Amino acid sequence: MRECHREIAKWLEAVGTSPAIDAVGNLRALYPGSDPTTPRLLIGSHLDTVPNAGAFDGVLGVVLAVTLLEALEGRTLPFGIEIVGFSEEEGVRFGVPFIGSRALAGTLDEGVLSRKDQEGVSVREAIEQFGLDSTKIPEASLRGEVLGYLEFHIEQGPVLESLDLPLAAVEAIAGQTRQQFVFAGKTNHAGTTPMNLRQDALAGAAEWIAIVEREARSVPGLVATVGAIEAKPGATNVIAGEVRASLDIRHASDEIRTKSAQTIAEGAQEIAERRGLEVKQATLLNQRAVAMDSFLLEQVDQAIRETRCKPHRMVSGAGHDAMILAQRVPTAMIFLRSPGGISHDPAETVLVEDVARALECGMHLLAQLASTLKSSGRTCLA
């Protein structure tokens, strides 16, 4: 991350900004507007990614933001532009996402800062170990007049490719529920315990996973995933006495997502009672669906038209920093096509011509917003 900060800081210094790292590790730089008192537009994305990832998830949005400043060639707008490279969006290390953007939104609370990784290191301790002062985290919160937040991001899915479109406006980000289920049975010898006398936690979990998939397939727009499972004691000739399984549920409707989560939980309970098991569940994340700003959506549609492309709106199944910033300021997202629909994998890529279209779209959008502010005398977009 230090190397990443240093490299991007060089680019930002070259366009006349003074980049700095805030107390939670976000890289930030302000390109001033035509007047020191003008509000600012945030443009950015995250700099972290997942293990064994590709090269574009998150960081492409930061690179595009810097390149938009380069394309201005020193010209000023009736608003400033603050570039933000968020330090932690994925939630890989601590199991909680959006640490960087939560700081800007002012929602990074003690519960998150106390979360620990597998080595027992807390978020707060990790921040201190990186050389930052965690007591100054409140200073990272957004201050002054902010027009809104714009994020470019690869789609991470196959929709745009299937439509042969390079760009899309994100109209909403699906809500997410992340849970852990623990099935407890009885460990016993695999060779001497008859099938009708077993309390096999892994068999119960397997039956439950089938319920998860069946629910997701039966509800339009719902996705549900059991991505991690751990059986104990984990020996070939031993019946598993305990199984821990993750559950990830997403939908654009919070009502539908909540109802499906309840159906899946009831299925786990029924299986446990029938098989003589115990089951416990814990909710790790309950993130509401977030709609993007209607005015900015229209502006993004128009900017895409200006690139001679057909506008398209879609729901993001993946979570993004935009859903956190939307709690504070008007927010918009622009997706770029993901060839093969591949992401979180080394094969993740983008098309050069799509990146060129995204830059063109971004320049049109900046011009549109500048025109709107000049003609209306507004200091905000909401």
Same domain, 359 and 308: yes
Of the given ranges (33-42, 195-204, 328-337, 360-369), which has the lowest mean pLDDT? 33-42
382 found inside a domain:
no
Same domain, 63 and 46: yes
Whether residue 325 contacts residue 100, with contact meaning beta carbons closer than 8 Å, is answered with: no
Same domain, 37 and 128: yes
Q: How far is CA 283 from CA 63, 185, 258, 366, in A?
A: 35, 21, 12, 40
d(CA 50, CA 55) in angstroms, rounded, equals 10
Could you give the angle at the alpha carbon of 185 between the alpha carbons of 183 and 189, nearest 5°?
A: 135
- 237, 257, 287 - which closes a domain: 287
Same domain, 330 and 189: no
Q: How many domains does the chain have?
A: 2
pLDDT in tens, 187-217: 999 999 999 999 999 999 999 999 999 999 9
Same domain, 205 and 327: no
Same domain, 113 and 165: yes
With a CB cutoff of 8 Å and minimum separation 6, the contacts of 107 are 324, 327
Whether the link from the prior residue into 233 is cis, omega within 30° of 0, is yes
Same domain, 39 and 147: yes
d(CA 85, CA 29) in angstroms, rounded, equals 9
CATH number at residue 246: 3.30.70.360
pLDDT in tens, 130-141: 999 999 999 999
Taking alpha carbons only, the member of 377, 347, 17, 376 closest to residue 154 is 347
- The parent domain of residue 79 ranges over 2-174+289-376
What ranges in 132-227 are assigned the alpha helix state H? 159-163, 201-218
141 found inside a domain:
yes
Same domain, 269 and 366: no
- Report whether pLDDT(378) > 90: no
Per-residue pLDDT band at 227 (split at 50, 70, 90): very high
SS3 160: helix
Directed axis angle between helix 254-275 and helix 201-218, to 10°? 150
What is this structure's pTM? 0.84
Same domain, 67 and 162: yes
% of residues, the chain, pLDDT over 70: 98
- 287, 313, 337 - which closes a domain: 287
Q: What is the pLDDT of residue 92?
A: 92
Q: What is the pLDDT of residue 285?
A: 85
165 found inside a domain:
yes
